[in-house]
Structures are given as structure tokens and as C-alpha cells.
Structure 1
């Protein structure tokens, strides 16, 4: 699957796709794209072949398709917030400061290293030219989307749709733990037990779900993080061998089943 570049004047790096007026669920898809603007590509210290391989490993391939299929199957149409750019531009789920654990492996808001701990950007590269045009507008738009759903429904459930490789990659800080078909990432404040239980039921047919291994936590916009219990959140990490050819190949028949399970979770949360 080749990467793509956009002209520098492309207006939007994300897309908010409306759902039902009374839908409390937002499906967040942050890592599905391989698109890199030309100006960003110029600052990446990999040749074309190495970049394609890195995109195979780092991209949560087909997760936008999974979310779209879940939307089509759900009784109550959820909202979708989809990153249109590769996480090699910015990772919207990191912090742009020193709080982020993944800085230890060069994967903060702007990555400096690859999944195999090789240099992605030259030493001393300034992240600010990417933070200002890409990270901050994304965060502000997600804040606004959650606020609009709160105003409309009185509650919000952010479901973060990710995938992860069957075998651990060198950048993983906790890659020695269990790697179940479905990993549920949780937050002590924003993930109530009933949300976990609903997800476990929805994905029961895939051979087991795990909690916070190999990836932990979930995404909540900073405006609401740790402050507003009306915002609940859960990360769905799908092991890639359940629905696609690894590392960056085509989707298989498992995609339909995964999407149906996600739609079932959306419906259970929309009651």
C-alpha cells in the first residue's frame, strides 16, 4: 500500500462525520492514514522504501474502514472523528510536552524515531512547525466535538479505534505482556466498569479480551480529562491478524465481524 502526499495547502487534516442528533458515541480514528504532506516528508530522514515499511508497521491500517462499517451497521448512527494524516506528521493522542511516556522512545506528539528505534527525523529537529498547524487545531476540534455532544445528549462516550501487530515491535514499552485478540484500554476516571463489561460482551466471539495490555489508556480531550465524568472513554485495540495481512497488507473477512461487534457496542451505549 503506497503512502500518499498532499499539497501543502490542503485545508483540513481531520474530518468530523456527523451521526444521529441523539447519539452519544464518537468513534475516534487517529492512526489509520498514510498521508504525509510534501513539506513534512521533506523533514523525514528515511528514503522512500524505508518510509513505506515504517508506514506498514506504524499505521493502524483499515481502522477507518472498520469504523465506517460499524457506522453503517449501527442502529443509532455514531459520530466519527477521523485523522486524515499519518501519525508520522503528529500523533494527536500524545502530549506536546514532557508528560508523555512515549518520549522515551522518540514517540511524543512529533515522532523522532521509528518503530524499530531508528532515526525518523534529524537530531534537533524543531517540532513546533508541526504542533502549531496540525496538533493544536486537531485538539481544539475534538474538544468542540465532545462539547457539542455533551450539550446535545448530556453525556459522551469516546471509543478510540486502534490496531496493533501480532508480534511486538522494538518501540513498545510494555510489549512483553499478553496480546489478546482485543485489548481494551481504560482510564481510572473515564472508563466505568459497565463500559468495560459492554465491550467484553460485544467482542466475546474473538477469542478473548484483555485489559491494558499491550497498550493502556484511552483518549479524552484535555479540556475534559480528569474533570468531567460525563465524558467516558475506551480504547479498542484490535490485533491485526484478526482482520488483515501484516504488516501493512489487505483487509480480510475478519474486518466485517470486527465492525459488527463494534456496531453492537455502539448500540449498547446508545440506549
Structure 2
């Protein structure tokens, strides 16, 4: 079950693994047809990609998967979140609409214009957002059918210093932030993550980012679907903004693999 690298990929793991490492924001690719609707010049777009991209998180998930006793599945977005953000609601429920960052962004991380405010988001939602959501739903359903449970571990990063678009950026910014959900994140999953990342610095909860990603078909309905968001502060593993990874990436990959192994057990 895979898609072209230009869109997204579902990378198979072990048949009996319940874990899906979800990597939605690691790519910088913006197709030319989408680029035409963005008002930034090339240099400004590259700067925005430096800020908005969760750089090297796909590599982090790949390294971690290779270290696991039972290889997890990986669902990796191969397009920039400036095309669509697959983790936003595509309607008025999305609180990030207030800063122009719903499913289709109209504002940048610094609240400058990215697309005209009256740009129609529907073509991008139909072309990119809905197929992604359907495929992620299928991936979770497949793990449920195969193992009786599914655990989505979202792999993200965030800047050391808060950016203007952040609605809740005034709180703590620990080296590792765990985003949780009251229904889908059992305490034992949170504790496994705390133990796994203990060697990577302080681990906090739901600050500066909170919540988890679960396909809407299962959200708040299916207790066999667990979910946890891992947010890693970028100075712990890379040069900001948008620079190369450093030695911290290997340490984080080992920690993520330990979490996956703990969930599998």
C-alpha cells in the first residue's frame, strides 16, 4: 500500500505491529501548480519553508524504525504543509483559521500574506487533503484488523523560540513535548514516552503544542486507537532554521525506537 513519493507514502512495517509513525510536516516540496497560488517570491518562500517545516523528522522516523525489534509502519507526507496541512480540520472547527492557518494556509508563520485571503481552498482540499485523510483512515483500520489495536505516534518538531503564528506559544518549551488526548492517550502510553525520552532532556506535556492526530472516523469513538504526539525542540538535533541535523538526531532515533518497542510489548 503506497503512493507516489510526490504525494505521500505508506511504508509497510511488520504484519503484527500496531504502530504507525506519522510524519506529516517533514517535506519542503511545493508543486509548481500550487506554487502559482502563493504570493511569496522564491527567496521568501524558502525562508518560510525553513520556519514551517519539521525538518529531518522523516529521517528520524526512518532511523527509529530500523532500530525497532518489530518494525513499525510509517505514513510520511512527501509534500510541504504549505500545500495542505493534513492535521487541520478543513472547516470552521479549526481554531488556526484565526491566524490564516487552517487546512490551506493563507498566512505565514510571521502572519504575512501567503495566499490571497479570498483564495478558494477547495481544489487543494479535494486534490490533496481528502486522499491523505482516506489513506490514513485505511492505514489505521488495517492495523486494527491485523492486530486488534492501532497506535499513531505523530513525529513533529518545533522552533526553540516561538513564532508569531503560535496561539499557545507562551508556555514552556521543553526539549520534548508530548501532545495528548483525553480519549486516545492512556496514561501508560504517556509514561512509556517519558521513560523512552528520559535521556533527551526534560519532557513536558501539551506545551507549546497539544493534542494528537486520529482519523475522524475513529476520533472519540474507538478506544482501540491510541495516539501520542512527539514534538521535539529543534535546537536539540539541528541548526535552526532549516539547517542540517546534528548528533542529537541519533539519540532521538534511539529514544523513539524505545517508545515503539515499549508500545509493541
**TM-score, normalised relative to structure 1:** 0.96
Q: Distance in 1 between matches of 2:116 and 2:223?
A: 41
Q: Distance in 2 between matches of 1:101 and 1:259?
A: 32
- Listed one character per residue, the Cα deviations across residues 122-165 of structure 1 (whole Å, up to 9, x for unaligned) are 12000011000100000000000000000000000000000000
- Listed one character per residue, the Cα deviations across residues 26-61 of structure 1 (whole Å, up to 9, x for unaligned) are 000000000011100000010001000000000000
Q: Does 1:267 align with 2:261?
A: yes
How far residue 207 of structure 1 moved from its aligned partner, in angstroms, is: 1.7
Aligned in 2, Cα 1:200/1:35: closer, same or farther, shift over 3 Å? same
Q: Does 1:135 align with 2:129?
A: yes
Match of 1:114 among 105, 108, 113: 108
- Listed one character per residue, the Cα deviations across residues 96-128 of structure 1 (whole Å, up to 9, x for unaligned) are 000011111110000000000000001200001
Q: Does 1:186 align with 2:180?
A: yes
Secondary structure, aligned partner of 2:257: helix
Q: Does 1:195 align with 2:189?
A: yes
Q: Distance in 2 between matches of 1:86 and 1:193?
A: 32
**Alpha-carbon contact 2:200-2:251 (below 8 Å) kept:** no
Aligned to 2:138: 144
Aligned to 1:52: 46
**Alpha-carbon contact 2:5-2:78 (below 8 Å) kept:** no
**TM-score, normalised relative to structure 2:** 0.98
Q: Distance in 1 between matches of 2:105 and 2:114?
A: 7
Q: Distance in 1 between matches of 2:81 and 2:235?
A: 21
Aligned to 1:5: none
How far residue 11 of structure 1 moved from its aligned partner, in angstroms, is: 8.1
Q: Distance in 1 between matches of 2:86 and 2:201?
A: 30
Q: Does 1:236 align with 2:230?
A: yes
Q: Distance in 1 between matches of 2:127 and 2:167?
A: 29
Unmatched segments (≥5 aa) in structure 2? none
Moved over 3 A (4+): none
Unmatched segments (≥5 aa) in structure 1? 1-9
Q: Distance in 2 between matches of 1:76 and 1:105?
A: 41
- Listed one character per residue, the Cα deviations across residues 174-210 of structure 1 (whole Å, up to 9, x for unaligned) are 1110000000000010000000000000001122100
Aligned to 1:207: 201
Q: Distance in 1 between matches of 2:23 and 2:228?
A: 12
Q: CA RMSD in A?
A: 0.8
Aligned to 2:154: 160
Aligned to 1:3: none
